[in-house]
Amino acid sequence: MKHFFGLLKTKIDIQYLRDNDLILLECISGSKAYNLDVETSDTDIKGVYYLPKKYFYGFEYVPQVSNDSNDIVFYEIGRFLELLTKNNPNILELLETPEDKIIYSHPLIDKIKTKDFLSKKCKDTFGGYAFTQVKKARGLNKKIVNPIAKEKKSILDFCYILNEQGSVPLKQWLRDYDKKQELIGLVNIPHFHDTYGVYYDESSKFGYKGIIRKETATTVLLSSIPMEEKPITHMHFNQNGFIKYCKDYKEYWEWVENRNESRYENNVQHGKNYDSKNMMHTFRLLDMAEEILTEGKVKVKRENRDELLKIRHGEWSYDELIAMANTKMEAVERAHKSSRLPNEPDRIKIQSLLVEIRMVLYS
């Protein structure tokens, strides 16, 4: 018994699957399967495996394994069928991989028929994924058009001094009147949100705290003010604007740190200010959604390669592509209403298929 449980500590990874002949399906996926690869395209691999009995029946069930870069991903057979039932785009595409991109396929895979899984769900899975890609493209458009300076702003940049019928930035006011923010005391004004009375102590005898102590401060400081002192002016702190700026700053510089530089440079070079690869896949997914709903087929290899690569190369403006995508989304909606596909796959039939496959594998 000790030996048995010791075996369960073995790491289930891609090499373990290969060494123990556990792979049921292995395919080249991604751009090379779609017929949309270019010189710089990576080779993505996806596949299906099954677990040895001791892992499947015990606590060590592993539904998915991948390498560190996530360009090689394998799904356990049960997880594979579950995702097919959900009409997951990547998984339906894997099942319909073009023959010349299939590295290996176990005879049991032939029992899994795409027609048993297709349903009207694909409007939301393929179309919803496409909508996500549009959002990503919009996000990149915003980041490219509105870059955020590396030097982070502080609260002082979001403070304004009331001036007659208007206001002036606090920093400008400090320069104009030769004041130091460290010698200022602030007091809340009742019923005036984020607005403060401003007191000044040239001699520092009252111990005012200033507006902020550090540039990294997240809120203004308040001071105790002697009763006889009078405010010299009033200040408003745009707290909502500061909070939004901090969020945008964090998101922008995390994106800069993690972005694919060669892909980013390509997006900048074509001058359209959107992620052209994301937009290409948006149109591919919308085309596939319409085809599934009208024809009941998953066409992985794209025949309109030239048209899609034009999108990748930035031959349309961002606004043009958004308008084109909206038109395609409307076509998908119409196809969904008239489609003869079932609303849901037959889960009982699929469960019986999974049991049958497992019985063969574990017999």
Q: Is 167 helix (H, G, I), strand (E, B) or coil?
A: strand
Q: Is 314 helix (H, G, I), strand (E, B) or coil?
A: coil
pLDDT for 168 equals: 96
pLDDT single digits (tens) 308-347: 999 988 888 888 888 898 899 899 999 999 999 999 999 9
pTM over 0.75, yes/no: no
- Closest by CA position to 362, among listed 108, 37, 104: 108
Task: Give the strands of the sheet with 159-163, arranged side by side.
Answer: 166-169, 159-163, 233-237, 195-200, 184-188
Q: Which segments in the chain show pLDDT lower than 70?
A: 1-9, 135-145, 259-273
Q: Where are the alpha helices (DSSP H) in 20-76?
A: 31-34, 53-57
pLDDT for 141 equals: 60
pLDDT for 5 equals: 46
pLDDT for 1 equals: 45
Task: Give the strands of the sheet with 102-105, arranged side by side.
Answer: 64-66, 72-76, 44-49, 23-29, 102-105
Residue 272: φ, ψ to 5°:
-100, -5
The size of the chain, in residues, is 363
pLDDT for 60 equals: 80
- Closest by CA position to 239, among listed 192, 290, 184, 299: 192
> Which H or E run includes 233?
strand 233-237
Q: Enumerate domains of the chain plus CATH numbers.
A: 1-117+345-363 (3.30.460), 119-342 (no CATH)
DSSP string, 282-296: HHHHHHHHHHHHHH-
pLDDT for 4 equals: 46
Residue where the block lists tokens 């809340």: 188
pLDDT for 40 equals: 84
| 240 vs 251: CA distance, rounded Å | 17
Residue where the block lists tokens 């085309």: 287
